[in-house]
Amino acid sequence: MTGPRGQLRAYLAFQAKDFLLLRASLPTAVVVMFAWMMIATVQLPADGWESPQGRMIARQVFDMLSTMFVLAGAFLGVARIVSDDRSNGYYRFLFSKPVSMCAFYMQQWIVNGVGLVVLIGLLASLFGALTVPVPVGAAMQVMAVTWVLVGGVGFALSVGTNYDVPVLVVSYVGSSVLHSLKDSPGSAMAPWMRQIVRVTMPVQHVDHVRAALFAGNPLPLAHAGIAVAYGALFVVAAVVLMRRVSFAR
């Protein structure tokens, strides 16, 4: 009575639908609403968006909205990605079927990441069509790097605890604050504290990536590499944890 294993590839359509409805809809709606409000209410000179002032405003709005979407998208994209099924008990139905938990969640994680990159590309293109051309590719690359970092850490946290969302937020905010303190001019941070800061989320590297790409420079590979490697390490940790530790709590 052995049959084929779960049709995960076919299930991908349902995962994409879940991503769009449950995770992407809110940041998309918020960003579209803000963009529409700004486009509709901004006071532009006679030659509209093509004027130097119009270009500057469009670019400022784009930078702000894309940063907002990237962060909100990464957090909402990974929030409770595993812990929701565990704490609500959905896993009992899902994983009594011949399907690997690791493969199921890795696929969901990839779908959410790719979905966010595609979405920001579409939204940026739309914004560019309505105003002036904006760096669509840069926004997509920033989204991808942020996803691997925030999404990777969030994935591992969601495997490890049902309180992954607050822990992820605290980790991100805490890391940002600590890195700012460490890098501030005249910082008197103790050496042991600097060692701790070194292992926290390297959020400052994502900031470097964003700044470089939005300034029209190529992707800074060193900064992107550190952020991606850190996130990827957590993805690997998530998979190992899922295989070794009881899924149910």
Partner 1 sequence: MITLRGVSKSYRSLLGGRVPAVADVTLDVAAGEVVGIAGPNGAGKTTILAMLLGFLHPTAGELAIAGMRPRAYVEQHGIAFLPELMALPKAWRVEDALRRLALLAGLAPGRAREEAARVMAMLEIGEHARKRVKALSKGNFQRVGIAQALLRDCSVAIFDEPTHGLDPVWTMRFRGIVRALRKPDRTILVASHNLDELDRLCDRVVILDHGRIQRIVNVGGASRDGGAGAFRVRVAGDAVVACRSFTGATVLGAHEVELPPLSVEEFNTLLARALADGVQVTGVTPRARTLETEYAEAVGASPADVA
Binding site for partner 1 (CB under 8 A): 1-8, 10-11, 14, 88-101, 104, 245-248
Structure tokens at 43: 């006071």
Structure tokens at 9: 């590839």
* Residues in the chain, overall count: 249
Contact 212, 218 (CB under 8 A): yes
CB of 84 to partner 1, least distance (A): 9
Smaller CB separation from partner 1, 1 or 46: 1
Smaller CB separation from partner 1, 92 or 194: 92
CB of 165 to partner 1, least distance (A): 18
Residue 225: Cβ within 10 Å count: 14
CB of 3 to partner 1, least distance (A): 5
Smaller CB separation from partner 1, 33 or 103: 103
Contact 143, 70 (CB under 8 A): yes
In this structure, which amino acid lies at residue 137?
G
d(CA 77, CA 155): 10
d(CA 82, CA 245): 14
Smaller CB separation from partner 1, 103 or 196: 103
CB of 98 to partner 1, least distance (A): 4
CA 84 to chain centre: 18
The candidate with the shortest Cα–Cα distance to 41, out of 64, 17, 57, is 57
In this structure, which amino acid lies at residue 248?
A
Smaller CB separation from partner 1, 49 or 95: 95
CB of 162 to partner 1, least distance (A): 14
